[in-house]
Amino acid sequence: MDNNAVISLDKIVKNYYIGTIVVEALRSVDIEIKKNEYVAIMGPSGSGKSTLMNLIGCLDTPTSGTYILNGTDVSKMEDNQLAEIRNREIGFIFQTFNLLPRYTALENVTLPLIYAGSPKTARVERAKEVLTSVGLGDRMEHRPNELSGGQRQRVAVARALVNHPSIILADEPTGNLDSKTSLDIMKLFGQIHALGNTIVIVTHEDFIARYAQRIIHLLDGKVESVEENGKREQ
């Protein structure tokens, strides 16, 4: 394993069982993602990209194989251990924003810090700092229904960043946005990457994947190919 790898997947297999039928969602997947890499994962429906995202995000564990996240083997962890790792190591950004409607932008962003046990003064200060960094310094007291789609996604980005995670994991982050707002969000991702963050985006949109340094193509539960700098490597 590369010592600089934040994510290292070795011979990852994930099977689902429907009665007596075995569905092979991932079949011996090997992937390494280094610190400060910007990687996109693409694939058609049924390729295994959602399963892979759930495993990378510690929302699930593999049937077999090893997953080392930032130096820790998370392959066989129990649910409570995975929850702790998720909160500490991973900043999630979802297509549907997943903001709590009754909470202000500031309150939404402080949530991961509450789970981490940060003191109130420190977490409010950190949340304000991150909201300002994504351009929402004047929207902190607004609730989600008072914000545009792009602003809501910026709140989600701020929430993902607030705990200083090892990786930012984004699932179709522009799926609910118009093309202009999508470009604004991808520009923001570029700024976040430039600050030293590791970013993994799961997307079916080619123009979104093109913002990444590397594109991993999945097909039928396997890594079909990898593209670097626009050149596809088989």
Give residue limits of the domains in the chain: 5-233
Angle between the N-to-C axes of helices 149-161 and 105-115, in degrees from 0 to 180, rounded to the nearest 10: 20
Both tokens assigned to 160: 């993902």
pLDDT at 229: 64
5-47 per-position pLDDT tens digit: 999 999 999 999 999 999 999 999 999 999 999 999 999 988 9
Q: Which phi and psi (to 5°) does residue 6 adopt?
A: -85, -35
pLDDT band at 4 (very low <50, low <70, confident <90, very high): confident
Cα Dmax for the chain: 56
Q: Could you tell me what percent of the chain has a pLDDT over 90?
A: 80
- Is the predicted pLDDT of residue 234 greater than 50, yes or no? no
Say if CB 88 and CB 116 are below 8 A apart: yes
136-185 per-position pLDDT tens digit: 999 999 999 999 999 999 999 999 999 999 899 999 998 888 889 999 99
Average pLDDT over every residue of 62-78: 94
Average pLDDT over every residue of 61-90: 93
CA dihedral over 115, 117, 119, 123, signed as positive or negative: negative
Element (H, E) at 117: none
Residue 203 corresponds to which amino acid? T
Mean pLDDT value across the chain: 92
pLDDT at 107: 96
CATH architecture of 5-233: 3-Layer(aba) Sandwich (3.40)
179-198 per-position pLDDT tens digit: 899 999 999 999 999 989 99
173 exposure class (CB count in 10 Å sphere: 0-12, 13-18, 19+): buried
C-alpha span between 107 and 135 (Å, rounded): 16
Distance of CA 230 to the CA centre of its chain: 22
94-119 per-position pLDDT tens digit: 888 899 999 999 999 999 998 888 89
Q: Which phi and psi (to 5°) does residue 125 adopt?
A: -65, -45
Average pLDDT over every residue of 80-90: 91
Model confidence, pTM: 0.90
- Is the predicted pLDDT of residue 232 greater than 90, yes or no? no
179 exposure class (CB count in 10 Å sphere: 0-12, 13-18, 19+): exposed
pLDDT band at 2 (very low <50, low <70, confident <90, very high): low
Q: Could you tell me what percent of the chain has a pLDDT over 70?
A: 96
- As a dihedral over the C-alpha atoms of residue 226, residue 97, residue 91, residue 108, rounded to 10 degrees, the angle is 170
CA dihedral over 65, 70, 72, 76, signed as positive or negative: negative
